[in-house]
Amino acid sequence: MGVTCFSQEFTTSVAPSRMFKALILDSHNLIPKIVPQGIKSIEFVEGDGGVGSIKQTNFPEGGHFKCLKHRIDALDTVNYVCKYTLIEGDIIFDKLEKVVYEVKFEASSTGGCVCKMTSEYHSKGDVELKEEEIKQGKDKAMGLYKVVEEYLVANPDLYA
């Protein structure tokens, strides 16, 4: 099994606590509300959102994917860090065992934050992953972060 790692980050004017609450703690409520065309629903199939919980993301009918399942591995609500693992889904799982993510929201000197995400793609056997195979998922994740950022800027009292 090989491991391929990628990192990405972006800066936002939104405080780290608000980004963390919106994208991590309350994503199951917020995300389907603000991007219903991309995500039908997000629900906990095990647990209540804490470590060990399993969250299922359901996509609209007719899309490329039906659903994904993530397990929450670590949740630090003081330092705004979440580690979770993509454990099931119809996304390139013919080539992957799992994908492990770590997301950090760090305060910036401008009052906003820097959102940092690392991804570890654990491939099956001797399969080598190419960056272009992963780029679409990375781009969608960053697009989602930007949509949430815009929503929080437009709604300054939300998650304040």
82, 75 in Cβ contact below 8 A?
yes
State residue 48's pLDDT score.
Answer: 92
How many residues are given for the chain?
160
Alpha-carbon distance values, 12 to 55, 107, 154 (Å): 26, 10, 13
Closest CA to 105 of 149, 154, 60: 149
pLDDT band at 1; cut points 50, 70, 90: low
Q: Is the CATH number 3.40.50.300 carried by domain 2-154?
A: no
Closest CA to 85 of 76, 22, 96, 65: 96
Q: What is the C-alpha to C-alpha distance for residues 143 and 109, in angstroms, rounded to an integer?
A: 24
Structure tokens, 97: 């065992």
Residue spans per domain, the chain: 2-154
Using the structure block, give the residue that is written with the tokens 């219903």. Answer: 36
State residue 143's pLDDT score.
Answer: 84
Q: What is the C-alpha to C-alpha distance for residues 133 and 24, in angstroms, rounded to an integer?
A: 25
DSSP states along the chain: --EEEEEEEEEESS-HHHHHIIIIISHHHHHHHH-TTT--EEEEEESSSSTT-EEEEEPPTTSS-SEEEEEEEEEETTTTEEEEEEEEESSSTTTEEEEEEEEEEEE-TTSSEEEEEEEEEEESTT----HHHHHHHHHHHHHHHHHHHHHHHHSTTTT-
More confident residue, 61 or 132: 61
* pTM score of the predicted model: 0.90
pLDDT digits (tens, 9 = 90+) for 68-97: 999 999 999 999 999 999 998 876 667 788
- Parallel, antiparallel, or unpaired: how do β-strands 3-12 and 41-46 relate? unpaired
Give mean pLDDT, residues 121-133. 79
